[in-house]
Structure 1
Amino acid sequence: MIMTTLLTQLSHLGTAVCDEKHPRAPVALPAIRTSTVRFNDIDTLHDTYRRQAAGERIVGYGRMGMETHAAFEEMMCALEGGKRAFLAPSGLNAIAMVLLSLLNAGDHMLVADCVYGPVRQMDETVLKRMNISSTFCSMRDMAELESKIQSNTKILYLESPGSLLFEMLDLPAIAAVAKKHNLLVIADNTWGSGLAYRPLDLGADVSIVAVTKYIGGHSDLLMGAVVAKDDAIIKRIDTNQYALGFSTSADDVWLAIRGVRTLDVRMKRHAENALKICEFFDQQAETLQIYHPAFEKDAHHDLWKRDALGSNGMVSVALNLTKAQTKVFVESLKLFSIGYSWGGYESLIDMVNTDFLKNHAYWNPNYPHLVRMHIGLESPEDLIQDYQQALEKARNYPPSIP
């Protein structure tokens, strides 16, 4: 079968075999669960050990998963443009897998200040205890970034767009700095998930995706994935993943495969809806700034046009309201649930604690409040009506109450 485009590949990869030997087969590959793998003879067992040691993805124990896992790993490689994928029980587990595989005691990494918040907690509670140091900084100025590289720096870790303000970083420029100093570039690509953004194509060495979000797409699974294309990096991650004992449920992997089938159409709808919401907030007097790189007034729209392939439903808005008014606005919404995950079919909103933004160079400290929203698959007209009634309640709430 000739599969010339990514979307065609994603529709056909991971399907059950249907051929002369298997004349009847289901469309969807079953969720194959097992803890134990059987071997026909001792020679097969020993051959499995040998091939595993050489880095081949071959199952010797159930923890690594059977055909269901292998099918989804192949899908992730297609999405991200990589050679090998590794699965973890959550996105944060995937981050830990990479850092514990590629960093040693005494090493240092530079981290973009806009990354997923728990990376800072991992630095404080795990990495420092292992004598691994981190410097969090803006990665917008390449000369400044280069000045922060130390003799023991090994990794440049980033997330683009960033976690709360969706700040686009110049990944090709960052990768050029890394290459000059023989450093690895690790990118959290949960925002792009392979369809909207492809870090490996832009110079990153490893891409990490929280499958929990857009790939899962239905708010019913937790999983992370790591994708790489360099053989030496793949071997290091492979060895450490097995040693650390990461394992994912076959049922969750099956759900992730299901999510990939509709990823393209869902993300396009999320992105279309999000732009309509940006246009709505652009007309509101309370709006100080809209953070969504696909929106033409976003500060990083040109970078998005150059490097991204699409967008999604994530929008943040800085509002000129009191804290009490912002709380009234959020709690008055009928179609939005309050929550800080995203990527599912539903619309969510979170009133961001601005203490979390103090270390983000992109954040304007003069702005009083920020709401982060995931725009779901509902009718955007209905969402806008919901915003209108909630804003009206917030406006009428006494501004004298802080």
Structure 2
Amino acid sequence: MKKFLINLGLLLLMVVALVIWTKLPWIGAVALAVLLALWMLLTRTGRQASSVTAVGMGTLRQRIGSSSVIVIGIAGVVGVLVALLAMGQGFQATLQGGGRDDTAIVLRGGSVSEAQSVMTHDDVNAIEQAPGIARDAAGKPLVSAELVVAASMRKKNSDDDGNAQLRGVDDSAWALRPNLKIVQGRKFKPGLRELVVGQGAQREFANLGVGDEVKLGRQRWKVVGVFASGDAYASELWADRKEVAADYRRGDSAESVLVKLSSASAFAPFKAALAADPKLKVEADTTKAYFAKQSAGLAKIIRIVGLVVGVIMAIGAVFGALNCMFAAVAARAREIATLRAIGFRGGPVVVSVMLETMLLALLGGVLGAVVVWLVFDGYTASTLSGFSDVVFQFKVDGALIWTGLKWALAIGFIGGLFPAVRAARLPVTTALREL
């Protein structure tokens, strides 16, 4: 019963420690490391733990194989976890990058995306009269009615087809997106079947160089420019809305209306005016909020998949660490017993085994994080968002690396706790007789 209660206490200690650890910022971890170092330098028990740890670390060369299992296993866990989280973070940053507080998007009521929305010419005219809209030098409201269609195109260096997002826009579209810059060629001319393409779309699909012609819908279109935006728009092809509508038989309709507000505070009266108009059945939101909603679903799925895969791999890494550290404790039984016999307490033995495991775990975590950062940071990929391909970049930042290191150290803590307690409990006479 006593042994059972002790083990139960260890389990509770482990759970509490892990809960606290998951909430700990990096500065807290540094503070803990400093306190541990001071304890090992300034106290007798701490110096004993330091001595035992030094002896254990000195035997790593004889246990290079088993130690490598811990390091490589944890490096794999951290690498996979951070890579998946970086994918979700990069995708979310790409979608949210096109959002602002001083621009609004208007969709048909009940629509959650542009693909589900349809508005008539009269709807667009009514929206243009709403208060709070900014105007250009000529007094014209900065409003762009836009139409989005999925255009089937051949992918670059492949025989497979993908769906590019073709966006038909009005003249004001450029003023509504100040971060969008033409980097090659020029803007398309209204009334002509001309395209400007995002850099992401150009990397993803074939025949999108300046001067190329590509068949979209029923007609051939000429690429006249390339733009950079650093957001989801970079995955799109842009053209005159009326030409897109004519080619795809959409009449004079639009799916969304993008509006430049006179200020961020003008959104509330703008939205209220649209809601008060009985002829309009529309919903407005800031583009920042709209793109946050669009990215939330898929980014959440990617995070969940990353955590599930990480947990499964972490369980395997924990068992690997347990096996290796139990074997290490068994191999050092005489050494530990001798230390206990000359006056070393159980506490320093526990700390030494835990430190050894967690240092190996930290090495594995750093290795996995460095590999992921070198391979995936800025790596360009594409995924489906709705019915079209969105090109985005993996984003490996300090916060994700710290998350990976926390997982590594947590695995080391779990994998070292029970072998450490076994080492401290090892009867001196029994250990000396075993070897």
* Range class of TM-score, shorter chain: under 0.3
Which protein has the larger Cα radius of gyration, Structure 1 or Structure 2? 2
Say which structure, 1 or 2, has more relative contact order (CA 8 Å, 6+ apart): 2
TM value normalised by structure 2: 0.22
Give me the TM-score of the superposition, normalised by structure 1.
Answer: 0.23
The structure with the greater share of residues assigned to helix is 2
